[in-house]
Copies of this chain bind each other. A is one copy, B any other.
Amino acid sequence: MSNMESNAADGMNYAPKGKPNPVVKPGEFGFSAVRLDHGHIYGMCNGLVEAGATLRYVYDPDPEKIANFVKAFPGVKVAASEQEVFDDPETKLIAGAAVTSERCALGIRAMEAGKDYFTDKAPLTTYEQLEAAKACVKKTGRKYMCYYGERLHVESAVFAGQLIEEGAIGKVISVAGFGPHRLNAKARPEWFFEHEKYGGILCDIGSHQIEQYLFYAGETDAEVTAARVANYANPEYPELEDYGDCMITGKNGTSFYFRVDWFTPDGLRTWGDGRTMIIGTKGTIELRKYINVGEEPATSDLVFLVNEQGEKRFDVHGQVGYPFFGQLILDCINRTENAMTQEHCFKAAELGVLAQMKANGLSG
């Protein structure tokens, strides 16, 4: 399955495949999948397997989800319970895509069982969960990592980080992120439309955007300046927020805006026209992550760099890979933080929760 083929669907099972680039030998680093409520689990497991990890067990209470998963990962053993997975000494990391509001509880159980944890985004949905997750990390020394796939599993997004690192646009001063998604409501599970469970649009798909901002701007802390949500066109799902946007200001003064929505038109050739616009003191970067709208043939992972040297288009699909997954495996083994710091992971989650509270009129 190429990236473009996976893109052609609605994004629910978006599971990019890259070039296998193992950082460990077979059997050297085992992980298991627990809870398959969101299709992102496929991308998470692909990424880890390509980086050399060995997928040991899968557990979910729903036999249909298990059957599909086993088709995609034929060597995996089906566990009869979560506990059976936790009891496996060769499982070092639990990858989970539970219902969003249950991701924290699963993580705490996994960390208490001595495992590192790698959850689908958003990693949690409330401030109380954040506090509990932080406390458990402190107590157990385990990792609570998150699949912020819209940067970690997108080659143009990875490449943008490399350009910034090289100084191609000077110092980053502003980031804008756009994460439109196709709703495809009939194919979604019930919990997707329950606010308490999905956590609100800014917390849910917004967390991707916030993570990218913190990374590109090099910010370790920030404040939510303003946040809005709406249900513009889906009154049959009263708890769905089909639109949200937000302004965040970094501790170092950088500016961020993001918009997320469920308005990808049916005629778009992929699940969403995701964009990132980055302004530096000496240049700009635009990412057209999943499609260059209106251009034939459909290509993903375009990067447009403009600086004093001119305008440059990079087509980086298949060129960059996804270094996050190998780094995560090595971080788990060596107790380092090269893939992502725990603080960064939690800060993106925190700002998502705070943005959501602000938009919903709750104090943060």
Contact = CB atoms under 8 A, between A and B. Distances in A.
Interface of A: 169, 171, 173-174, 176, 178, 180, 225-226, 228, 230, 232-233, 243, 245, 247, 249, 253, 255, 257, 259, 261, 263, 265-269, 273, 277, 279-284, 286, 293-295, 304, 306-313
A241 to B, nearest CB: 12
A173 B259 CA distance: 13
Contact of A259 (B232, B257, B306, B309): B257
Contacts of A243: 173-174, 255, 279
A359 to B, nearest CB: 11
Given A245-B255, A253-B230, A293 B304 contact: yes
Contacts of A282: 265
Contacts of A253: 230, 232
Copies of this protein, total: 2
28 contacts: A173-B230, A173-B232, A173-B263, A174-B232, A174-B245, A174-B259, A178-B277, A225-B226, A225-B228, A232-B253, A232-B281, A245-B257, A247-B257, A263-B284, A265-B282, A265-B306, A265-B307, A266-B307, A266-B308, A267-B283, A267-B308, A269-B311, A293-B306, A293-B313, A294-B311, A294-B312, A294-B313, A295-B313
Greatest chain B CB density within 10 A among A253, A263, A309, A313 is at: A263
A273 B228 contact: no
A21 to B, nearest CB: 29
A273 B306 contact: yes
B228 A255 contact: yes
